[in-house]
Amino acid sequence: MTPSAPSDRSATAPPERTLDAAIVALRRGEPVLLEGSSGDAALLALAAEFAADSNLARLRAAANRPLRMVLTRRRAVALGLAPRADLAGAVSIALAPSLPAAVIRNLADPAASLGVEPPGLGPAPQPAEGGELAAVALAKLAALLPAVLVLPLAPAEATFARRRRDVAVVATQDVLTRRAAMSGLNRVAEARVPLADAEDARLIAFRPGDGGSEHLAILIGAPDPAAPVLVRLHSACFTGDVLASLRCDCGEQLRGAIAAIAKAGGGVLLYLAQEGRGIGLVNKLRAYRLQDAGFDTVDANEQLGFDADERVYLPAADMLRQLGYTTVRLLTNNPDKLAALERYGIHIVERMPHVFPANGHNERYLRTKATRSGHLL
């Protein structure tokens, strides 16, 4: 990165070298320096959905070599750039120096490029590795599309970049080993919150140790830890839970679970910060647009470059243990939740079905849940 006059920020602020700072920088459309454990293996990464002439010029000025685009293999398959035989990992593609920013954004976002033929990109993609994989993982942690531009740096270039005070720096290993909900949860606040269907309820907030979004527990009544407690795991759904959207059954499942737990005499509903099966609200809206174009729920997520379901349930197990409950009756139709809780040490003695009728708008959504995601509907 070529020297320039220091900005006010670079003159007064220390270099940002935390994962949180890297996530914020990536979400602002700024390059982030990812450095390897050897101290000299480094690259600059930029979220592809923010590609613009200004930040592309900034990135290209850092070194006289072509940029590469790193996509999840699922997104590469959707673009016809990789075979469907293997969907794991990511691929790295060399970009022509003249490739416009708008084309780069379209490669990242199928919802913005419906009906647009992808451009020829020259050499075949290569398997992504090391810092390239970390760059894609960082984009996911930032709830952005999992597509990044990267520029590998020579040791001298990396040294100069590390000294800049306006570039967020993060270790590749910190990104690759981090899971949003796996870094330890702290119980930080609670209060009595009477609900329409459960007046004897308390809301308890758990904050991840990495500063991520809080998960919430709704404790209804005073269930006995010595007996199996009725539990529902509910992933956040702004459109269904708050707006009562008819595209899904989430709002009905949330309110129905609260009423069922209260009727049973008590239990716990865990409200997990995993919007859109873990891809985030903005990406869920992109997936909705793809669904309107004919893709089902699973295919829409994969067109965006995500797995069909990106959620993790370790935080749920941690929350239950902190509340004193390790044996549960689980209110769910999703076998993945059963398997995950058991894997993380929560014993499930019974699965309680949690099914609601279709409403005229969500038949295909529910059918996909059953036929492609294995839900027991």
| Helix 314-323 and helix 335-343, axial crossing angle in degrees, nearest 10 | 60
Express as a percent the part of the chain with pLDDT over 70: 90
pLDDT at res. 272: 97
Q: Is residue 54 domain-shared with residue 73, that is, in the same domain?
A: yes
Structure tokens at 193: 């919150």
The answer as to whether 148 is a domain residue is yes
Beta bridge partners of 351: 330
Domain endpoint, select from 153, 176, 199: 176
Structure tokens at 339: 């398997």
The answer as to whether 377 is a domain residue is no
| Across 39-53, 118-132, 344-358, least confident range | 118-132
pLDDT at res. 362: 83
What pLDDT band is residue 343 in, cutting at 50, 70 and 90?
very high
User: What is the three-class DSSP state of 251?
Assistant: helix
pLDDT at residue 258 greater than cutoff 80 = yes
Q: Is residue 32 domain-shared with residue 144, that is, in the same domain?
A: yes
Q: Is residue 213 domain-shared with residue 338, that is, in the same domain?
A: yes
Q: 10 Å Cβ neighbour count for 336?
A: 14
Choice among 309, 318, 336, 364 that is catalytic? 309
Distance between CA atoms of residues 231 and 234, nearest Å: 10
Domain endpoint, select from 118, 150, 176: 176
CB-CB contact of 216 with 271 (8 Å): yes
Q: Is residue 347 domain-shared with residue 199, that is, in the same domain?
A: yes
Residue of 187 and 63 predicted with greater confidence? 187
Total number of domains constituting the chain: 2
Q: CATH number of the domain at 16, please.
A: 3.90.870.10
Average of pLDDT values for 53-77? Answer: 88
Residue 292 among the catalytic residues: no
Smallest CA-to-CA distance from 273 within 248, 243, 238 is with 238
Structure tokens at 233: 């795991």
Choice among 105, 178, 247, 311 that is catalytic? 311
pLDDT at res. 10: 38
Burial 193-226 (b: 16+ CB within 10 A, else e): eebeebeebeebbbbbebebeebbbbbbbebeee
The answer as to whether 152 is a domain residue is yes
Q: Is residue 80 domain-shared with residue 218, that is, in the same domain?
A: no
Question: Model confidence over 102-124: pLDDT tens digits?
Answer: 989 989 998 776 655 666 666 67
Q: Which amino acid is at 280?
A: G
pLDDT at residue 211 greater than cutoff 80 = no
Domain endpoint, select from 155, 176, 197: 176
Average of pLDDT values for 289-311? Answer: 93
Q: Is residue 54 domain-shared with residue 198, that is, in the same domain?
A: no
Average of pLDDT values for 329-355? Answer: 94
Smallest CA-to-CA distance from 87 within 95, 78, 96 is with 78
CB-CB contact of 245 with 251 (8 Å): yes
- Prediction pTM value: 0.87
Question: Using the 8-state DSSP alphabet, how is residue 212 labeled?
Answer: -
Q: Is residue 235 domain-shared with residue 361, that is, in the same domain?
A: yes
What pLDDT band is residue 227 in, cutting at 50, 70 and 90?
very high
User: What is the three-class DSSP state of 131?
Assistant: helix
| Across 3-12, 14-23, 26-35, 59-68, least confident range | 3-12
Tokens 């920020």 sit on residue: 9
Express as a percent the part of the chain with pLDDT over 90: 62
Average of pLDDT values for 77-105? Answer: 87
The answer as to whether 107 is a domain residue is yes
Average of pLDDT values for 346-358? Answer: 92
Question: Model confidence over 243-257: pLDDT tens digits?
Answer: 999 999 999 999 999
Q: Is residue 172 domain-shared with residue 205, that is, in the same domain?
A: no
Residue of 102 and 4 predicted with greater confidence? 102
Average of pLDDT values for 135-143? Answer: 94
Q: Is residue 214 domain-shared with residue 124, that is, in the same domain?
A: no
Q: Is residue 64 domain-shared with residue 154, that is, in the same domain?
A: yes
pLDDT at res. 217: 98
pLDDT at residue 4 greater than cutoff 60 = no
What pLDDT band is residue 65 in, cutting at 50, 70 and 90?
confident
- On average, the pLDDT of the chain sits at 88
pLDDT at residue 44 greater than cutoff 50 = yes
The answer as to whether 304 is a domain residue is no
Smallest CA-to-CA distance from 332 within 321, 323, 346, 322 is with 346
pLDDT at res. 85: 75
Average of pLDDT values for 225-241? Answer: 97
Distance between CA atoms of residues 23 and 285, nearest Å: 21
Average of pLDDT values for 121-140? Answer: 88
Q: CATH number of the domain at 327, please.
A: 3.40.50.10990
Q: How many Å from the N-terminal Cα to the C-terminal Cα in the chain?
A: 55
Distance between CA atoms of residues 194 and 221, nearest Å: 11
The answer as to whether 126 is a domain residue is yes
Q: Is residue 203 domain-shared with residue 153, that is, in the same domain?
A: no
Average of pLDDT values for 11-30? Answer: 75
pLDDT at res. 244: 95
Smallest CA-to-CA distance from 282 within 121, 118, 119, 139 is with 139
pLDDT at res. 143: 93
pLDDT at res. 116: 58
Q: Is residue 25 domain-shared with residue 134, that is, in the same domain?
A: yes
CB-CB contact of 214 with 347 (8 Å): no
Residue 299 among the catalytic residues: no
The answer as to whether 282 is a domain residue is no
Smallest CA-to-CA distance from 236 within 209, 260, 254 is with 254
Smallest CA-to-CA distance from 49 within 77, 74, 87, 75 is with 75
User: β-strand 215-220 against 267-272: which pairing, if any?
Assistant: antiparallel
Smallest CA-to-CA distance from 277 within 231, 234, 227 is with 234
pLDDT at res. 84: 78
Average of pLDDT values for 291-296? Answer: 93
Range of the domain at 360: 185-274+311-371
The answer as to whether 285 is a domain residue is no
